[in-house]
Structure 1
Amino acid sequence: MAAETAAGDEGGHWPRAVVLVVDDEPGMRHFLEKAIAPRVARVLTAGSAEEAEALLRQHHVDLLLLDIALPGKNGIALLKDLRAQGIGSEVVLITAFADLDTAIEALRAGAGDMLLKPFRVTQVLGATRHALERARLRRENWVMRRELLQRTPPADGLVGSSIAIKGLQAALHRVATVDSTVLLTGESGTGKELAAMALHRLSPHASAPFVPVNCATAQPAQLEAELFGTGGSEGLFVVAQGGTLFLDEVGELPPALQAALLRVLEDRRVRPVGSERDIPVDVRIVAATNRPLADDVTSGRFRADLFYRLQVVEIKLPPLRAHKEDIPDLVAHFVETLAPRLGVPPIEVTADEMGFLRQYDWPGNVRELRNLIERSLIVGALNVSALYQSLPRPSAVKRTVVEGAPTDLHTLEKQHILAVLASVQGDKTQAAELLGISRRTLERRVAEWGQQG
């Protein structure tokens, strides 16, 4: 939804907003519909609370113009029910008999404004403008809390000119124009969230929210409430209305949430926790995984029907070792963007140092390279030992770097990972974070070398 005010038009236009008018008087419904319809995407009308509830089961609504004096269930009772079910649409109440007690009750129920009959068209448009502006600001504030507005990747979010990156860019540009569900696959640290943001920015819905959620970081009950909402708060599906919901590490979803997600993909509706009513949603789903979901389907860990729903389009992100020719561009980009953010001067990377970076296999991919540049900016220089010295290292490792870096890439990678593990006393979670890889990837590498712990 966009609350855009046209020049010279105090009423404003909201080309994506849907408004529901609820009034038992046909003449009032017609008056409100005629005043608002030219300025919004759609106006729905209902003559009772029951008709309004039926429409809300079928449509996402940004704003209700709701008469208090309705036959049967009155407007305030309907508003209380909607809030209890997790429907957070803006509401402007309409009444011919306003008093202080009614106003207080309306505010407590969740109304944003009240209109006193009789009113003029300008009053209706003013209340509509303020309500839709509140909705826009609420979403913007949520996005700012997630620090999305501070993310400024270049162009389509990808850096490099290698064949691998050009192929990825072409795939993202081609898929961004359609609303199909996309599954991003690739190792940890390859930039799957950046690719998801590129899909969003290149899509026709770039002005709508981009909402990321990591499916591996929360307990199932917490994640369910975060995704679908509760009686007291909107879920991320609703927050992302009209935009993109990015489900990172989707393979970590427990079975119950896999079933719930499948239902959303099939019905385009969500049901808040504890509610008996569904909320229509218009959201593009982009999911990501760092492991083969097909193997999880075979083992019974992941639902086959959900896998095929997510895999309408699959885009695989290449590991950094497959496009090492992009390392100089990536280093320059990270120095340019991180130095001002950290408040430090940029560093120079010599040809010898760049050659060393291009030898290394980067098990943590682009994320590990970014972490290296950030640490180097803080200390003011980059050299071959920087890979080994993000924290105090055993002296043997330091001597290896000074006397000559190993030329065998597998040996180089092994020494680096084991040095990081030693520096944190074997804490694999902390080591994986420093390396920019998942703990599962780290454990697999260590197991391959016959290490225990």
Structure 2
Amino acid sequence: MNNPKVLIVDDEPDIRELLEITLGRMRLNTLAVDSVSSAKSALAEDTYNLCLTDMNLPDGNGIDLVKHISQHYSDMPVAMITAYGSMDTAIEALKAGAFDFVSKPIDLQRLRELINNALQLVTPIADTTINKQTQLLGQSAVMIQLGKQIIKLARSQAPVYISGESGTGKEMVARLIHEQGPRADQPFIPVNCGAIPSELMESEFFGHKKGSFTGATNDKEGLFQSADGGTLFLDEVADLPAPMQVKLLRAIQEKAIRPVGSQQELKTNTRILSATHKDLAEMVANGQFRQDLFYRINVIELNVPPLRERQEDILLLANFFLRQLAESCQTPPPHLTPEAEKALLAYNFPGNVRELENILERAFTLCEADEISASDLKLNVDSATPATSITPDSDQQSVTTESPIPLDGSQSLEDYLAELERKAIVQALEESRWNKTAAAKKLGITFRALRYRLKKLGLD
């Protein structure tokens, strides 16, 4: 197999020579030209695996060449060589379709990483009817378009801001961008920015040195280091406090971090994807989020549509979730009655795909026989539905949400209810000598529902 071939476009002889020597040592074939017109001629005459182009050329602009390549040679990645500190130019190149950028003076290690990432790119085969993740299951026009956008963005290293309502599957979109790109075999590190205490945030993101603060008994690697070579997904990025926004901005711009207590910066090779359900542009306008950080993470925006805007996907998703639930319990999947299907199609799903999954999980445990009726879905009585559906026999103590709940802050309501459910199930099993059929009857639930709950609670 022939070695990959790289087209170098730069009007400075010293830069061309440096690039040719560096790429030659990487066993890459090169052709170096000094203008946009020469580059276009070379592209028309031969096939290349990568193009490296300078920004300022004698007969044109490197951005124009990026656009030309994106339009006529879309399978070939192109990287921009920018002047030192010209982040605005780099962002403009990424928006035009550049794979990545490297700044002058050229850091050869950074250049090698860029080239290796670019040469790993292969055009993935898109399955726009059923994507890898259930949250992206769909055959609607908006989901087919989203699948195409994911494939395109996977071939870039540009920061992507994923917008959309809660429950639409923004993290799954981020995972697909990562998995279909050149960093697929490297770590994908998701972090909920709203779940980290503000006083620990810098240490969590950048790591710390032993003794840098009280409790720092060992060196700790931060999230940027954990994601090095891969992707760092900043979920709910709108929840970052102002001081952390400043530090994150520097880390993104300089591609380097400084652990707490360290005097030395560490280079990072991390792609940044971010998301939030909030209106980040409005927060910028209100002074709640830094405009310069928004500008850096929002190089490309990708919107994930709410479920109500892709109604034709609802039943496809519903049946997929039911098959998953049935497989987890090793039982045949129940089917939705026509009335249940109509109820789902008429529902607004304010919680989107996540809500649909939760509705079906509940209906799966409550339904009789092998069908789910509209009443099993309980779409209009959520606020009146008990938090636990176990109904013990009359000789057992009743478990209802009206019972006093002695919470002291050490246990969440969800954990408390799970513990009540566990105790009721174990008691029923013990009283029936672990006969599951008898235990299900004693609890007033179906055998399928009991099997599901046993698996969920780790009692199977």
Q: CA deviation at 1:342?
A: 4.7
2:285 is matched with 298
Q: CA deviation at 1:270?
A: 1.2
Distance 1:255 1:359, change over 3 A: same
Match of residue 199, structure 1, among 159, 177, 181: 177
What are the Cα deviations for residues 306-338 of structure 1, in whole angstroms up to 9, with x where unaligned? 001011000011000000110111012212223
Q: CA deviation at 1:339?
A: 2.8
Give, in whole Å, the separation in 1 of the partners of 2:382 and 2:157. Answer: 49
1:383 is matched with 373
Match of residue 283, structure 1, among 246, 249, 270: 270
2:132 is matched with 155
1:372 is matched with 359
Match of residue 189, structure 1, among 167, 171, 174: 167
Distance 1:302 1:332, change over 3 A: same
Give, in whole Å, the separation in 1 of the partners of 2:354 and 2:413. Answer: 15
**Secondary structure at 2:336's aligned position in 1?**
coil
Match of residue 312, structure 1, among 278, 293, 299: 299
Unaligned runs of 5+ in 2: 1-24, 28-106, 111-129, 210-218, 386-400, 406-411, 415-460
What letter is aligned with 1:155? K
Instruction: Decide whether the 8 Å contact of 2:347 with 2:379 is kept in 1.
Output: no
Instruction: Decide whether the 8 Å contact of 1:58 with 1:280 is kept in 2.
Output: no
Q: CA deviation at 1:274?
A: 2.1
2:312 is matched with 325
Instruction: Decide whether the 8 Å contact of 2:360 with 2:377 is kept in 1.
Output: no
Q: Among all aligned residue pairs of Structure 1 and Structure 2, give the percentage whose two residues are the same amino acid.
A: 39
Match of residue 336, structure 1, among 293, 308, 323: 323
Higher relative contact order (CA 8 A, sep 6+): 1
1:110-259 correspondence to structure 2 within 5 Å: 154-155=131-132, 158-231=136-209, 232-259=219-246
Q: CA deviation at 1:58?
A: 9.9
Q: CA deviation at 1:177?
A: 0.4
TM-score, reference length from structure 2: 0.52
**Secondary structure at 2:186's aligned position in 1?**
coil
Give, in whole Å, the separation in 2 of the partners of 1:161 and 1:352. Answer: 23
What are the Cα deviations for residues 357-403 of structure 1, in whole angstroms up to 9, with x where unaligned? 010000000110011122222334533234438999649xxxxxxxx
Instruction: Decide whether the 8 Å contact of 1:393 with 1:422 is kept in 2.
Output: no
Give, in whole Å, the separation in 1 of the partners of 2:325 and 2:365. Answer: 10
What are the Cα deviations for residues 206-247 of structure 1, in whole angstroms up to 9, with x where unaligned? 111111000111211223222211222211111111111110
2:350 is matched with 363
2:340 is the alignment partner of 1:353: yes
What are the Cα deviations for residues 107-159 of structure 1, in whole angstroms up to 9, with x where unaligned? xxxxxxxxxxxxxxxxxxxxxxxxxxxxxxxxxxxxxxxxxxxxxx9436620
Distance 1:296 1:241, change over 3 A: same
What letter is aligned with 2:299? V
Give, in whole Å, the separation in 1 of the partners of 2:338 and 2:403. Answer: 29
2:392 is matched with none
**Secondary structure at 2:333's aligned position in 1?**
coil
TM-score, reference length from structure 1: 0.52
Distance 1:271 1:251, change over 3 A: same
Instruction: Decide whether the 8 Å contact of 1:392 with 1:423 is kept in 2.
Output: no
Give, in whole Å, the separation in 2 of the partners of 1:298 and 1:379. Answer: 47
Give, in whole Å, the separation in 1 of the partners of 2:332 and 2:383. Answer: 26
**Secondary structure at 1:314's aligned position in 2?**
strand
What letter is aligned with 1:189? G
